[in-house]
């Protein structure tokens, strides 16, 4: 009996291949963080953006670093409104934490 040494070839879409690549290399989470940061910049004004030192998402909770305590308190008061804005684009977002 003769063995066939040829590899099986599957035809896969570019989308699936790139998705697998991103998932394997944990690039997906960095891209998602960038999307969240871009959304934050569209929701906030220049004053808030200048006082924002970082935006990232972990376990579907958005963390926004603010370097002004009074601004952080003000943002906490409007947290539900901001959360709803994010959820319009990403329903899986559960909460926002200002740090």
| Domains of the chain (ranges, CATH numbers) | 37-98 (3.30.300.110)
- Taking the C-alpha atoms of residue 5 and residue 48, their distance in angstroms, rounded to an integer, is 62
pTM for the predicted model, two decimal places: 0.72
**Residue 89: helix, strand or coil by DSSP?**
helix
Q: Is the pLDDT of residue 46 over 80?
A: yes
pLDDT in the model for residue 12:
73
């891209």: which residue's tokens?
31
Q: Are 82 and 96 in contact (CB under 8 A)?
A: yes
Residue 99's nearest CA partner among 60, 68, 78 is 68
DSSP-based three-state secondary structure for 66 = strand
Mean per-residue pLDDT of the chain: 87
């Amino acid at each position: 009996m003769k063995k066939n040494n040829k590899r099986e070839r599957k035809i896969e879409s570019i989308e699936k291949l790139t998705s697998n690549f991103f998932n394997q290399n944990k690039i997906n989470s960095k891209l998602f963080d960038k999307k969240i940061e871009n959304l934050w910049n569209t929701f906030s004004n220049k004053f808030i953006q200048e006082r924002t030192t970082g935006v990232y998402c972990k376990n579907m909770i958005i963390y926004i670093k603010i370097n002004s305590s009074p601004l952080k308190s003000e943002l906490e008061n409007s947290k539900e409104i901001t959360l709803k804005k994010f959820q319009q684009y990403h329903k899986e977002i559960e909460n926002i934490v200002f740090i």
